[in-house]
Structure 1
Amino acid sequence: MTSFRSHAEKHNEEVYRDYKKDRKVGEGAYAVVYLGTQISTKKTVAIKKIKIGQFKDGLDMSAIREVKTLQELRHPNVVELMEVFFHKTNLNLVLEYLESDLEMIIKDKSIVFTAGDVKHWMLMTLRGLDHCHRNWILHRDMKPNNLLLGRDGQLKIADFGLARDFGDRGRQLTAQVVTRWYRAPELLFGAREYGYGVDIWSTGCIFAELLLRNPYLPGNTDMDQLETMFRALGTPSEAEWPGISLLPSYVSFKFYPKTPQRLLFTAAAPDTLELLESMLIYDPNRRISAREALLHPYFFNKPRPTPLEKLPRHIRESPEEVRLKRKADTLATMDDDTKRVARVLDFKAV
Structure 2
Amino acid sequence: MSLISYDDQFDGEKTRSSHSRQKKQLQVSVMACPAFDPIQRQSYRQIELTVSTGPIASGTFGSVYRGRLSESGESVALKRVLQDPRYKNRELRTLYALGEHENLVRLRYHYYCRGKMDPGKLYLHLVTELFPESLLDLLARYRKAETLPSMLKVRIFAYQLLRAINYMHSHRICHRDIKSPNVLVDESDCRLRLCDFGSAKELPLPGELAEGSGANAAAAAGVAYISSRYYRAPELLFGSTNYSCAIDLWSVGCVLAELCIGHCLFMANNSLDQLVAIIRVLGTPTKRDLLAMNPVYEKFPLPQVAPDPQLSFPIGTPPELLDLLCRLLAYQPGSRLAPLRALAHPFFDELRQRLPSDKLELFNFSQQELGSADRDLLAALKPSYSN
Per the alignment, residue 75 of structure 1 pairs with 101
**Are the equivalent residues in 1 in contact too, given 2:293–2:331 (CA < 8 A)?**
no
In structure 1, distance between residues paired with 2:60 and 2:249: 27
Question: Which residue identity does 1:103 align to in structure 2?
Answer: L
Per the alignment, residue 156 of structure 2 pairs with 120
Q: What is the total number of aligned residue pairs between the two structures?
A: 300
Q: Closer, same or farther in 2 for the Cα pair 1:219/1:19, shift >3 Å?
A: same
Which is bigger in relative contact order (C-alpha 8 A, separation at least 6)?
1
Q: Tell me by how many angstroms 1:165 deviates.
A: 0.6
**Are the equivalent residues in 1 in contact too, given 2:61–2:198 (CA < 8 A)?**
no
Q: Closer, same or farther in 2 for the Cα pair 1:32/1:309, shift >3 Å?
A: farther
Question: Which residue identity does 1:84 align to in structure 2?
Answer: H
Is 2:88 the partner of 1:61? yes
Q: Closer, same or farther in 2 for the Cα pair 1:27/1:244, shift >3 Å?
A: closer
In structure 2, distance between residues paired with 1:305 and 1:241: 43
Q: Which residue of 49, 58, 61 maps to 1:19?
A: 49
Q: Closer, same or farther in 2 for the Cα pair 1:157/1:249, shift >3 Å?
A: farther
Q: Closer, same or farther in 2 for the Cα pair 1:88/1:15, shift >3 Å?
A: farther
Per the alignment, residue 148 of structure 1 pairs with 184
Q: Tell me by how many angstroms 1:270 deviates.
A: 1.6
Q: Deviations over 1:173-225 (max 9, x none)?
A: 11111100111110100111111210110111111111111210101110000
**Are the equivalent residues in 2 in contact too, given 1:138–1:165 (CA < 8 A)?**
yes
| TM-score, length of structure 1 as denominator length | 0.77
**Are the equivalent residues in 2 in contact too, given 1:140–1:198 (CA < 8 A)?**
yes
Question: Which residue identity does 1:272 align to in structure 2?
Answer: L
Q: Tell me by how many angstroms 1:23 deviates.
A: 3.8
Q: Which residue of 164, 167, 175 maps to 1:139?
A: 175
Q: Tell me by how many angstroms 1:30 deviates.
A: 4.4
Q: Closer, same or farther in 2 for the Cα pair 1:26/1:47, shift >3 Å?
A: same
Specify the SS of the correspondent of 1:88.
strand
Q: Closer, same or farther in 2 for the Cα pair 1:177/1:289, shift >3 Å?
A: same
Question: Which residue identity does 2:339 align to in structure 1?
Answer: A
**Are the equivalent residues in 2 in contact too, given 1:31–1:49 (CA < 8 A)?**
yes
In structure 1, distance between residues paired with 2:227 and 2:299: 18
Per the alignment, residue 65 of structure 2 pairs with 34
Per the alignment, residue 319 of structure 1 pairs with none
Q: Which of the pair is proportionally richer in helix?
A: 1
Unaligned runs of 5+ in 2: 4-29, 34-42, 116-122, 210-218, 361-387
Question: Which residue identity does 1:165 align to in structure 2?
Answer: E
Per the alignment, residue 163 of structure 1 pairs with 200
Is 2:349 the partner of 1:300? yes
Per the alignment, residue 244 of structure 2 pairs with 195
**Are the equivalent residues in 1 in contact too, given 2:267–2:277 (CA < 8 A)?**
yes
Unaligned runs of 5+ in 1: 312-350
In structure 2, distance between residues paired with 1:229 and 1:132: 26
**Are the equivalent residues in 2 in contact too, given 1:77–1:157 (CA < 8 A)?**
yes
Question: Which residue identity does 1:61 align to in structure 2?
Answer: K
**Are the equivalent residues in 2 in contact too, given 1:275–1:296 (CA < 8 A)?**
yes
**Are the equivalent residues in 2 in contact too, given 1:16–1:86 (CA < 8 A)?**
no
Specify the SS of the correspondent of 2:333.
coil
Per the alignment, residue 323 of structure 2 pairs with 274
Per the alignment, residue 207 of structure 1 pairs with 256
Question: Which residue identity does 1:70 align to in structure 2?
Answer: L
Q: Tell me by how many angstroms 1:240 deviates.
A: 4.6
